[in-house]
Amino acid sequence: MAADNLADGGAADTHFGFRTVPLGEKQRMVDEVFHSVARRYDLMNDLMSLGLHRAWKDLLVSRLRPPKNGRSFKLLDVAGGTGDVSFRTVEAGGAGTSATVADINGGMLGVGRERAAALGLADRVEFVEANAESLPFADRSFDAATIAFGIRNVPRMDKALSEMRRVLKPGGRCFVLEFSRVDVPGLDAVYDAYSFKLIPGIGRLVTGDADSYQYLVESIRKFPPPEAFADLMRGAGFKRVDWTPLTGGIVALHSGVRI
Ligand code: SAM
């Protein structure tokens, strides 16, 4: 994993699913995936996760604890896509809770803006086209930062984590929700069969694009185990780094604090 995220300058390789690609190429390939699936992304999330992504995101929001009173609480939702985590957070919080969705993909953001308008949340959730590796926000400007099912798509995860730390206020918390390692005997075989045999087929039926979903399941397997990801968070300067495995380890909720 070392060369994947610690190197720079275009000389190193990384992975795009199970393929090895030049580090500088990965982002373009990831962007094609999300441009291709943007319109059907939310439907596919429900189908692929059997609705579980909703429970995982609700747990994330309960850990964020946006204040119920009018106190100001500013969330930065990195790789926030179509806005799910941000909508749930402002709905759970009081009138002072607002969110900024930062994502590199205009197609995903466009769907997110439409959803915000339909939910009546356009005044509390803003959408900004931005690369997680170089966030266009001032130091110490957010109370919390999240990245849900996004970090494994970012070529230089270490940079994205450092950037999230930079823009957090001291005491601000960072949460990373990401697929992890199944740690329940028997569930791993079922999960593998479901991922590799069913998901690309569902992707083909719903989006007409099996390859994008093949990438998504492969990228899940290439993501580092939770201990290694916790080390990356510590390397980015976070303290009190911890994680909670969810649903037998299918997903983990990682957290850290900017002191
Ligand atoms: N967080 C949303 C959710 O949970 O529904 C969307 C997750 S989606 C699986 C991954 C998102 O990461 C996509 O919207 C994609 O455009 C975004 N992404 C990929 N690379 C990125 C980067 N370098 N900077 C910002 N966003 C990125």
Atom of ligand 1 nearest to the CA of 107: 16
Alpha helices in the chain (DSSP H): 2-6, 23-37, 41-49, 52-64, 84-92, 106-119, 157-167, 187-193, 199-207, 210-222, 226-235
- Section 161-170 average pLDDT: 98
Is the pLDDT confidence value at 1 over 70? no
Inter-axis angle of helices 23-37 and 210-222, nearest 10? 130
- Section 94-121 average pLDDT: 98
Integer angstrom CA distances of residue 157 from 51, 91, 258: 27, 29, 17
Q: Is 230 annotated as a binding residue?
A: no
Return the structure tokens found at 79. Answer: 């790789």
Q: Where are the domains of the chain?
A: 2-257
Q: Rounded to the nearest whole angstrom, what is the distance from the C-alpha of residue 14 to the centroid of ligand 1?
A: 18
Integer angstrom CA distances of residue 205 from 43, 73, 92, 220: 12, 40, 34, 21
- Contact predicate 189/182, CB 8 Å: no
Residues contacting ligand 1 via CB (< 6 Å): 27, 30, 34, 79-81, 84-85, 103-105, 108, 131-133, 148-150, 153-154
Hey, which residues does 148 pair with through a beta bridge? 177
C-alpha to C-alpha distance for 86 and 129, rounded to whole angstroms: 15
Q: Rounded to the nearest whole angstrom, what is the distance from the C-alpha of residue 188 to the centroid of ligand 1?
A: 26
Hey, which residues does 177 pair with through a beta bridge? 148, 253
Residues above pLDDT 90, as percent of the chain: 90
Q: Which of 142, 133, 138, 147 is nearest to 168 (CA)?
A: 142
pLDDT at 207: 86
Q: Is 82 annotated as a binding residue?
A: yes
Q: Is 103 annotated as a binding residue?
A: yes
Is the pLDDT confidence value at 238 over 60? yes
Q: Rounded to the nearest whole angstrom, what is the distance from the C-alpha of residue 143 to the centroid of ligand 1?
A: 20
Is the pLDDT confidence value at 173 over 80? yes
pLDDT confidence tier of residue 206, bands split at 50, 70 and 90: confident
pLDDT at 2: 36
Integer angstrom CA distances of residue 132 from 69, 129, 158, 250: 30, 10, 10, 24
Pick from 50-64, 200-214, 219-233: least confident: 200-214
Please name the residue whose Cα sits nearest to atom 4 of ligand 1: 148
- Section 106-135 average pLDDT: 98
DSSP string, 91-103: HHS-TTEEEEEEE
Count, residues in the chain: 259
Positive or negative, the CA dihedral 145, 85, 207, 115 is negative
Q: Which CATH superfamily includes the segment(s) 2-257?
A: Vaccinia Virus protein VP39 (3.40.50.150)
Integer angstrom CA distances of residue 159 from 71, 139, 164, 239: 31, 15, 9, 17
Mutate to test the pocket of ligand 1, among 82, 85, 105, 223 (most ligand atoms within 8 A of CB): 105
